[in-house]
C-alpha cells in the first residue's frame, strides 16, 4: 500500500518536472546540466527531469523602466533634477540572460550617465526648449549600448525637469517681464495701426470729397453750358420766328421807321450819354421832335438821355453833332 503511494508521488513529481506550459509573450531559458540548451516558446514544453531545468522566464512584451530623478549640472552651472522613463523590449532572450547580470540595472545606470553627459553640454534655457533633441540622443545612445544585451530601446521620454527654487522665481519674474513687454509692444502696435487706419480713412474721405466736388462742378458746368446752349437756341428760334413773321407781314418803310423809333426810346432810357442814330431815321425824328416839343411842358429838360433831331433848330456847334467817320449813316448826339 505504501509502495503505491510513494510511486504515485514520484510520478507526480516527475510529471511536474517534465511538463512545462509557457505563457503567451514569454519564453523559457532551458539549461541542461548547467549549460544553455534551448529557448522554449509559448505552449506545451517537455523537458528531461533532473537533467534539464528552467533557468529564467523572459517576457517579450514592451516594458517600461522609470529612472529615479537625478540631479544634473548644466553648462551654466545650474543644478536641475530630471525624471526619465525608458521603453524597451527584449529581442534576444539568451543574450538578455547570459550577457548581463541584470538588464534593468544596466539600462538604468546607462541612462543616468548618458543624461548627465548630454545635459552637461547644454545651458538651462536649451535644456527646457530641447526636450525632443535630448530624448532622441538618449534613445540612440541607449539602443546602441544595449544591442549586445539582446535589447531594443524604443523610446526615451523626459517626464519632468525641475530647477531650484531660486531659479524658478527668477524664471517667473523674467517670464512676467517678457509678458509685460509683449503686451506693451502689442498695445503700441495696435495704437500705431489704429492711427494709420484713421489717417488712411481721412485721406480716402478727403479724396472722395474732392472727387465728388470736382464731379459736381463738372456736372454743374455741363448743366450751365447746356442751359446757355438751350437759351441761345431759344433766342435764335425767337429771332427766326420774328423774322419769319415780319417777312410774312411784308412791312413797308413807315412801319420800319416806327419800330426803329420804339427801339431808340428803349435805348434812350439807359444811363449812356451818347446814342448812335442811323442817318436814315433823322427825317422821322424831325417831325416827331417837333410834335413832342409842342406838347412838352415848359420845364428845363435834362440833357442826359435826350434824343435830338438833326434838323432841329439847335446850334450844331453847341451840341457837338458828329458824324461817324467809319459809318457816314450814323450820327452821334452828345448831351
Listed by start position, the domains of the chain span 2-59, 63-163, 253-334
* pTM score: 0.51
| pLDDT computed for residue 268 by the predictor | 62
* Residue 111: closest CA among 92, 88, 94: 88
Q: Give the tens place of pLDDT for each residue, 130-159.
A: 888 999 999 999 999 999 999 999 999 998
Top-tier CATH class for 63-163 = alpha beta
Q: Give the tens place of pLDDT for each residue, 216-232.
A: 889 889 888 888 888 88
| pLDDT computed for residue 20 by the predictor | 86
C-alpha distances in Å from residue 144, one per residue of 101, 141, 170, 225: 18, 5, 39, 97
Q: How many CB atoms lie within 10 A of CB 299?
A: 6
Residue 308, φ and ψ in degrees, nearest 5: -115, 135
| pLDDT computed for residue 280 by the predictor | 52
Sequence-distant (6+) residues with CB within 8 A of 229 are none
| pLDDT computed for residue 253 by the predictor | 65
| pLDDT computed for residue 95 by the predictor | 92
Distance linking the first and last C-alpha atoms of the chain: 183
* Residue 277: closest CA among 203, 220, 327: 327
Q: What is the mean pLDDT of the chain?
A: 78
Q: Which residues of the chain have pLDDT under 50?
A: 273, 279, 290-292, 295, 298-335
Angle, helix 282-295 to helix 253-268, in steps of 10 degrees: 60
Copy the grid coordinates of residue 330: 450814323
Copy the grid coordinates of residue 161: 525637469
Q: Helix, strand, or coil here: 158? A: strand
| pLDDT computed for residue 293 by the predictor | 52
**What gap in Å lies between CA 127 and CA 123, rounded to an integer?**
6
Q: Which long-range contacts (CB under 8 A, 24 or more apart) does 1-7 make?
A: none
Amino acid at each position: 500500500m505504501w509502495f503505491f503511494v510513494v510511486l504515485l508521488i514520484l510520478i507526480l513529481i516527475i510529471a511536474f518536472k517534465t511538463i512545462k506550459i509557457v505563457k503567451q509573450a514569454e519564453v523559457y531559458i532551458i539549461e541542461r546540466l548547467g549549460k544553455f540548451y534551448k529557448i522554449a516558446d509559448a505552449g506545451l514544453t517537455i523537458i528531461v527531469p533532473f537533467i534539464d531545468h528552467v533557468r529564467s522566464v523572459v517576457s517579450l512584451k514592451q516594458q517600461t523602466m522609470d529612472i529615479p530623478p537625478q540631479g544634473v549640472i548644466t553648462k551654466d552651472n545650474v543644478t536641475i533634477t530630471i525624471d526619465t522613463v525608458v521603453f524597451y523590449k527584449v529581442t534576444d532572450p539568451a543574450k538578455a540572460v547570459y550577457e548581463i547580470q541584470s538588464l534593468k540595472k544596466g539600462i538604468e545606470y546607462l541612462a543616468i550617465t548618458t543624461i548627465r553627459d548630454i545635459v552637461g553640454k547644454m545651458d538651462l534655457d536649451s535644456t527646457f526648449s530641447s526636450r525632443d533633441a535630448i530624448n532622441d540622443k538618449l534613445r540612440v545612445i541607449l539602443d546602441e549600448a544595449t544591442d549586445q544585451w539582446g535589447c531594443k530601446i524604443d523610446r526615451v521620454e523626459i517626464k519632468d525637469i525641475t530647477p531650484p527654487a531660486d531659479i524658478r522665481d527668477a524664471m517667473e519674474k523674467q517670464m512676467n517681464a517678457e509678458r509685460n513687454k509683449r503686451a506693451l509692444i502689442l498695445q503700441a502696435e495696435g495704437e500705431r495701426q489704429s492711427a494709420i487706419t484713421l489717417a488712411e480713412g481721412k485721406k480716402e474721405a478727403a479724396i472722395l470729397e474732392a472727387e465728388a466736388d470736382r464731379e459736381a462742378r463738372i456736372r454743374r458746368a455741363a448743366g450751365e453750358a447746356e442751359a446757355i446752349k438751350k437759351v441761345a437756341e431759344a433766342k435764335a428760334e425767337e429771332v427766326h420766328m420774328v423774322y419769319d413773321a415780319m417777312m410774312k407781314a411784308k412791312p413797308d418803310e413807315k412801319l420800319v421807321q416806327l419800330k426803329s423809333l420804339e427801339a431808340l426810346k428803349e435805348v434812350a432810357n439807359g444811363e449812356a450819354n451818347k446814342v448812335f442814330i442811323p442817318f436814315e431815321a433823322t427825317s422821322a425824328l424831325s417831325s416827331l421832335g417837333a410834335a413832342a416839343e409842342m406838347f412838352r411842358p415848359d420845364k428845363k429838360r435834362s440833357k442826359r438821355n435826350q434824343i435830338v433831331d438833326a434838323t432841329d433848330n439847335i446850334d450844331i456847334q453847341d451840341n457837338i453833332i458828329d458824324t461817324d467817320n467809319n459809318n457816314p449813316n450814323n450820327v452821334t448826339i452828345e448831351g
